[in-house]
Amino acid sequence: MELLDGKKVKLEILEDLKKELSNYERKLGLVVIEVGDDPASLVYVGQKAKMASELDYNFNHIKLDENVSEEEILKIIDELNNDDMVDGILVQMPLPKHLDAKKIQNSIDPYKDVDGLSDVNAGKLMHGVDTLIPCTPYGVMDILKYYNIDVEGKHVVIVGRSDLVGKPLASLMTNNNATVTVCHSKTKDLIKHTKEADILIAAVGKKGLITGDMIKENAVVIDVGINRVDGKLYGDVDFETAKEKVSFITPVPGGVGQMTVAELAKNVVKAYTLRKDNR
């Protein structure tokens, strides 16, 4: 069993980006809009700010009151869409209930949508067009690539079908010639599917849902889940029983979670390039 070390891959990605960015004529601009005081968002925005500072991006954190109107956010996004120095715009989720998250995400210029969550970018990804890809699935692909785990011809089973992880990952895997099965809460006999996976990806949000007996001998297991229980982080995979079966596995913490911010950093560069080439 070998651990897939997300931190190592992240650091290499950031180092490569630093080199690439030294040739750019201006600093790239990243704006994060945060609404309210969600404690988890505070941590995630902090990680983004740290990354932006390391890469010398112009980082603007717009923090809005919990009760801000949708109209006000849409106005801010419109201004940022029209600001040529802004390359990437991201709205930190979750948003308060009175705001329509989908509408807000779709109001971001698709060439600046560094979370890759707009309908335009989701559609492009599905059609195999080079575009901005959601950071977590992008991180899964990069970690596999780093360890030379080819997905072509493999049976990839993804547990979870969210717009954030499962669905874009299914498109990415299909576009890279894997044979893909997507499971979800209504799937009958989950174990029947997971046991057939050459590469098993868990993106559910339930601690220890995937146990060793659900895994094929020598499978590659990617654990996207992040579950906080009594202040400790756990994945969706029961590591102790899984480690006896797998060839490779991502730990939690230290696996996919590490990759997300590196992929965001890459997406800012990609957003800049795509906008330059297409406008």
Number of Cβ within 10 Å of residue 78's Cβ equals 13
> At its nearest, how many Å lie between ligand NAP and the CB of residue 30?
18
> At its nearest, how many Å lie between ligand NAP and the CB of residue 61?
19
> At its nearest, how many Å lie between ligand NAP and the CB of residue 76?
25
For ligand NAP, the closer of residues 115 and 198 by Cβ is 115
For ligand NAP, the closer of residues 80 and 219 by Cβ is 219
DSSP code per residue over 142-166: HHHHHTT---TT-EEEEE---TTTH
CA separation (Å) from 223 to 21, 120, 187? 31, 28, 19
Tell me the C-alpha distance between 100 and 95, whole Å. Answer: 8
> At its nearest, how many Å lie between ligand NAP and the CB of residue 34?
17
Strands 232-234, 227-229: parallel, antiparallel or unpaired by DSSP?
antiparallel
For ligand NAP, the closer of residues 36 and 205 by Cβ is 205
Catalytic positions: 48, 92, 115
> At its nearest, how many Å lie between ligand NAP and the CB of residue 112?
21
For ligand NAP, the closer of residues 88 and 166 by Cβ is 166
Residue with tokens 């950093």: 265
State whether the Cα torsion 161-166-171-173 is positive or negative: negative
For ligand NAP, the closer of residues 57 and 138 by Cβ is 138
DSSP code per residue over 210-268: B-GGGS-TT-EEEE---EEETTEEE-SB-HHHHTTT-SEE--SSSSHHHHHHHHHHHHH
Asked if 272 and 246 touch (Cβ cutoff 8 Å), the reply is: no
- Strand-pair partners of 234: 227
Terminal Cα-to-Cα distance of the chain (whole angstroms): 47
Residues within the interface to ligand NAP (CB under 6 A): 136, 159-162, 164-166, 183-187, 190, 203-206, 209, 224-227, 256-257, 260
Tell me the C-alpha distance between 26 and 32, whole Å. Answer: 19
